[in-house]
Structure 1
């Protein structure tokens, strides 16, 4: 993607797409500012599948984060929820976003919960592939601990070196031990919120079951009482984020309605 800029305060590289006066929308992983240079032409339809459905109205901010693409390095042990939120709010300011919608998937989805509970700058929140209630932070950290010396090839397509993989241990432990989920969810009750997942979206990482779809499904009634809208994408797993045609229209409808 052309037009990548570097925020000198956070060290985060970012790119903007869509009308200058469009509705501000930050989209986190799996999208990124350097998506095309990292994944090449083969996955360009995925990026286009998002942007073509959004950039007529929305000013979309993509970031290279954490420590990917054109962004500066972060020491793995410094990747805590507090650091992540501070960096993303700083780069949002650099991009000209005062209040904005945040949308992320998997790890990026969990980050949205942290942003919404630590800042009043969000106008709406979209989470994909991550359960707002009972998130498997411990399971992900434990799996990362097991895999830290030999991460999967898919992770190394994005990360710079194997040592960086330990950042997922530090991040998830920081949430596991430093975040009051119940209080946070209650506090964001009035925020427009949307969560979606693949029907088959539970995972097994390094032999450790990581419930995602089942947790969202089992907590559906509670989530609705807390103001969440829910969508289950049939017959796909956690890779649903790479099939924008299956859910971006529904998310777009939610955003249009919520931000009208």
Structure 2
């Protein structure tokens, strides 16, 4: 079964929101080397190789392949990994795969980022000519000129040039066939997932106007143009690409921070953020993303009910510093002092009188401070 799947690499917690990363023609998943490890702090990142590139078998597609064929391989990979709905980012041909998924399989995508790509690739002729040349001569000549197509003058990534040179000619040519047949311009208005477009200002292959064309047609799309970037922006401007992708994909963390502030108050959250260090940063992100971004935002329970549950759990485990913080939160969530007292009295029955005694002392102090 594995030889029928796209070669891939997984990073990040298996329980984190999945994010699939697609490559550009001629490269491998090494294109994401300076971005994927950072994204994996908050995502289950799966980056994959095109057929005939990196570790993917060339025979996964054949002559006359389409972008739809590549998208089907991505969905097969996701299914094999137990991934249903996922976020997706792709570069060039990988970006075209993302657009196809957004139009034809919107139920599988939660959000989309299209990087240095296009809804069309300047007509079929040049790609058919390139496919014929590669089938006839191999990839040596094209790899020699890759730097000029991919990067601004003086910049290179030797690993990606090696990937290009070592790609299977038949697999590469079949990908050229897919680019030749690709044109989604008349379907862009159907894209309904949150969409980010990233353009390299100095990209000769898919210049910024190609990304602007998508941004103008896709409802509520966002466009970012990166100065000093050519066609392989994740390799040349990884910091800028990472910043844009985080802002786009981390909606759960943003919403979590909003709820955290609403429940705990700005002063508390500001103090926590001020104390944050590189050592604790991932833990703070974890709290915002999972505790506040997923659990506290679940509409099944009201915030009042969640406060009552939280107070009980904190008493049961003797976390009295946290209890004081959540007594304040309970007041923000609408509980009266009498209701807080009733919750603590209930804990005396099920958590023990000594625990409830300490809890009443903590709550009385906090409520008095609140009154002042």
Structure 1 length as normaliser, TM-score?
0.76
- Please list the CA deviations of residues 19-50 of structure 1 after superposition, one character each: whole Å capped at 9, or x if unmatched: 111010000105755x3xxxxxxx8xx61x21
Provide the residue aligned with 2:50 in structure 1: 65
- Taking the aligned partners of 2:113 and 2:125, their CA distance within structure 1 comes to 23
Is the aligned partner of 1:191 residue 2:198?
no
Q: How many residues align?
A: 227
- Taking the aligned partners of 2:211 and 2:202, their CA distance within structure 1 comes to 12
Provide the residue aligned with 1:129 in structure 2: 116
Native 8 Å contact 2:132 2:173 kept in 1: no
Native 8 Å contact 1:54 1:252 kept in 2: yes
Is the aligned partner of 1:105 residue 2:108?
no
Deviation (angstroms), 1:143: 5.2
Q: Equivalent residues in 2 for 1:1-260 (5 A)? A: 7=2, 10-30=4-24, 32=28, 35=30, 47=33, 49-74=34-59, 75-77=61-63, 79-119=65-105, 120-132=107-119, 134-138=120-124, 141-142=127-128, 144-145=130-131, 147-148=133-134, 149-150=136-137, 151=139, 152-153=142-143, 154=161, 156-160=164-168, 162-176=169-183, 180-182=184-186, 184-188=187-191, 190-203=192-205, 211-217=206-212, 219=213, 222-223=216-217, 226-243=219-236, 244-257=238-251
- Taking the aligned partners of 2:109 and 2:166, their CA distance within structure 1 comes to 27
Partner-residue secondary structure (3-state), 1:76: coil
- Taking the aligned partners of 2:174 and 2:47, their CA distance within structure 1 comes to 21
Structure 2 length as normaliser, TM-score?
0.55
- Taking the aligned partners of 1:214 and 1:70, their CA distance within structure 2 comes to 33
Structure 1 residues 17, 125: closer, same or farther in 2, change over 3 A?
same
Partner-residue secondary structure (3-state), 1:231: strand
Structure 1 residues not aligned, in runs of 5+:
1-5, 36-42, 204-210
Structure 1 residues 58, 186: closer, same or farther in 2, change over 3 A?
same
The structure that is strand-richer by fraction is: 1
- Please list the CA deviations of residues 176-224 of structure 1 after superposition, one character each: whole Å capped at 9, or x if unmatched: 4xxx532x21221x31000101111123xxxxxxx5323334x37724x
Native 8 Å contact 1:61 1:95 kept in 2: no
Larger radius of gyration: 2
The structure that is helix-richer by fraction is: 2
- The 4+ residue runs of structure 1 with deviation greater than 6 A are none
Partner-residue secondary structure (3-state), 1:21: coil
- Taking the aligned partners of 2:87 and 2:172, their CA distance within structure 1 comes to 28
With CA pairs under 8 Å and 6+ residues apart, which has the higher RCO, 1 or 2? 1
Deviation (angstroms), 1:123: 0.6
Native 8 Å contact 1:193 1:227 kept in 2: yes
- Please list the CA deviations of residues 82-130 of structure 1 after superposition, one character each: whole Å capped at 9, or x if unmatched: 3211111010111121000111001111111111112120111111001
- Taking the aligned partners of 1:195 and 1:221, their CA distance within structure 2 comes to 7
